[in-house]
Amino acid sequence: MELVIDKMFQTCFKDKKFKQAIGIALESRRLDKVKEAMEKSGDAIEEILGYTFSIAKDILKSKNFRTEVMRLLMIIYQNRNDQGNFDYYKIAQCQYYLNIPEGTASLLEKLVKIPDGDSYLDAYQIAFDICDKESQSYQSKVLELITGKIENCGEDQNLVKERLTQITVILKGELRDKLYLQFLKKNNHTDMQLIVGIKKAIGPKSSILHGATVWSNAMMNAYTTNDTFL
């Protein structure tokens, strides 16, 4: 049976069907073939890496094997980073799945220290992603590590210190909540006359309908700071 599977791998590689090879490799838990498929994919490696990442994240049920796949992906992404092919977002995601907050903190510090370009903006976006998508414990650990890095910054690193401080603000969720509130307040188009009309129609006697009206107002104006109806 192993011989048959190996022949299938050979056929996939020959026909450049790398996604099929990845699928078979993950089903049969052949990490060596996952790596081989990526090495042979050539110009399609970015697509193959993304495909493998999606399967590992959403479909693989074995936690141990998923961890091995994520570790392999992180190594490949980091090696490509050394070659000038940057995908910091995927590296950060792999670090989360592998529970390496120290690596994420070091990655953010590295991005804000790059003198040229807008790499610090990538660091801000990764911080927003951590705040929105990752667990609170992971977020808190990264925040703690970044705070420690700020304290260790020298007097000649004011720009780095300022950027790291901005990352801590993002990780605390303060900036996200502020922007979210501003967006909902600005884009609130609730028809208040509709609520008033419902209130007049049901009258003051039916407590159930009155409660439903209050709830409908709450849902229509949630997070908008509009409390005029109350």
For residue 171, what are the domain limits? Answer: 99-187
**Domain presence at residue 171:** yes
Overall pTM > 0.75: no
Looking at the structure, do residues 183 and 151 belong to the same domain, yes or no? yes
What pLDDT was estimated at residue 82? 54
Burial class (CB in 10 A: 0-12, 13-18, 19+), 70: buried
What pLDDT was estimated at residue 171? 92
Asked if the model's pLDDT at residue 203 lies above 80, the reply is no
* CA dist list (Å): 187 to 184, 192, 195, 214, 217: 5, 14, 18, 21, 16
What is the arithmetic mean of pLDDT over 195-212? 81
Looking at the structure, do residues 147 and 72 belong to the same domain, yes or no? no
Q: Which of 88, 109, 144 is the last residue of a domain?
A: 88
pLDDT tens readout for residues 70-93: 999 988 888 876 555 567 888 898
pLDDT tens readout for residues 127-185: 999 988 888 899 999 999 999 988 888 777 888 899 999 999 999 988 888 888 888 88
Output 13-19 pairs: Cβ under 8 A, ≥24 positions apart: 13/37, 13/40, 16/44, 18/44, 18/48, 19/48, 19/51
* Number of structural domains found in the chain: 3
pLDDT tens readout for residues 29-46: 999 999 999 888 888 888
Looking at the structure, do residues 173 and 208 belong to the same domain, yes or no? no
Looking at the structure, do residues 62 and 13 belong to the same domain, yes or no? yes
**Domain presence at residue 124:** yes
Contacts of 226 (CB under 8 A, 6+ apart): 185, 188, 190
For residue 71, give the 3-state DSSP assignment: helix
Looking at the structure, do residues 31 and 7 belong to the same domain, yes or no? yes
**Domain presence at residue 93:** no
